[in-house]
């Protein structure tokens, strides 16, 4: 696109106005100047501003201050077994039999992965596609949805499908969202977290929107797309029996501080009873 620097700057500023409600890593100081289509420029504003880390952190997410000391103690006791378990789960992902697919948001939540909105900071800006997973917490930038969103994303996916040289970041993101929010319950969970802010008539309509966006789209799940390391880290966390057990304890016992205190007290009483029985036996044997 042969244009003057002033014109490219004006076009970029115009695009920023169109995408004002989306988080963007591009600032006024580094506006794009080399683009050949408005869709290409739009994609540049939405694409990941940060490379997804190859080594994700798999630690169990802290839930609240009163549970911190319990969580820390559990991590110290089980850390060796947890690391071995995570490495084993990661090794299974390389198996030819493994089916690559994202799980529902509700499923990840029930497996102990904390899902939260990624806060935007001017000193370290991120784009819509900058999703990260650290220490058992998945952070997703805010996604505004309205009746024009489908048209925007469909055109961006079409650009990547017809011009593979630009990459497949938008397509990878749509693949994630089409499976991540495949039901109204998933949309409701993300809306509750402030991640999805929509103006549709129902949560089901948002779910259907992403499902239709992925129809007839060619995508290599096993390819080197930008979300692959994120997928592997989250799938290993999901498959870990220890993480799922910790999540079950949290959801069913420790989410209420009084229930957590009662469980600890009961465990302490049982431990004392066992010690008392062992000491009585040793004293009788002596």
pTM (2 d.p.): 0.74
* pLDDT for residue 45 is more than 80: yes
From residue 151, alpha-carbon distances to 16, 43, 145, 147, 210 in Å are 18, 14, 11, 8, 11
- Dist. CA 115–CA 191, nearest whole Å: 11
Tokens of 113: 């992965």
* Terminal Cα-to-Cα distance of the chain (whole angstroms): 93
- CA 228 vs. chain centroid, Å, equals 12
Beta strands in the chain (DSSP E): 114-117, 132-134, 137-140, 143-145, 196-198
pLDDT digits (tens, 9 = 90+) for 87-135: 555 555 565 566 688 999 999 998 889 999 999 988 889 999 999 999 8
Nearest Cα neighbor of 16 from 51, 41, 40, 37 is 41
Q: What is the pLDDT of residues 244-267, one digit of tens each?
A: 666 556 555 555 565 656 667 777
Domain limits, the chain: 1-46, 50-253, 258-285
**Per-residue pLDDT band at 240 (split at 50, 70, 90):** confident
Task: Determine phi and psi for 116, rounding to 5 degrees.
Answer: -145, 160
Q: What sign does the dihedral 37-39-42-46 (CA atoms) show? A: negative
Phi, psi of 81, rounded to the nearest 5 degrees: -65, -35
């Amino acid at each position: 696109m042969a244009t003057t620097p002033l014109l490219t700057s004006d076009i970029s500023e115009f695009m920023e106005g169109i995408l004002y409600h989306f988080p963007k890593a591009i600032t006024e100081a580094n506006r794009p100047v080399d683009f050949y289509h408005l869709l290409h420029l739009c994609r540049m504003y939405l694409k990941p501003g940060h490379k997804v880390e190859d080594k994700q952190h798999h630690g169990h997410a802290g839930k609240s201050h009163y549970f911190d000391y319990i969580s820390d103690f559990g991590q110290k006791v089980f850390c060796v077994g947890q690391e071995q378990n995570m490495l084993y789960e990661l090794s299974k992902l390389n198996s030819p039999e493994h089916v690559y697919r994202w799980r529902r948001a509700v499923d990840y939540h029930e497996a102990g992965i904390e899902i939260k909105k990624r806060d935007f900071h001017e000193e370290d800006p991120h784009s819509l596609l900058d999703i990260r997973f650290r220490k058992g917490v998945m952070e997703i930038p805010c996604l505004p949805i309205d009746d024009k969103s489908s048209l925007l994303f469909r055109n961006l996916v079409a650009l990547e499908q017809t011009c593979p040289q630009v990459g497949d970041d938008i397509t990878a993101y749509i693949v994630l969202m089409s499976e991540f929010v495949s039901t109204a319950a998933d949309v409701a969970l993300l809306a509750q977290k402030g991640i999805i802010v929509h103006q549709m008539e129902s949560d089901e309509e948002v779910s259907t929107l992403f499902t239709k966006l992925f129809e007839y789209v060619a995508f290599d799940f096993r390819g080197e797309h930008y979300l692959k390391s994120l997928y592997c880290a989250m799938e290993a966390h999901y498959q870990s029996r220890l993480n799922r057990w910790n999540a079950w304890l949290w959801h069913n016992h420790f989410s209420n501080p009084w229930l957590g205190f009662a469980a600890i007290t009961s465990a302490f009483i049982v431990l004392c009873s066992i010690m008392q029985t062992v000491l009585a036996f040793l004293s009788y044997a002596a």
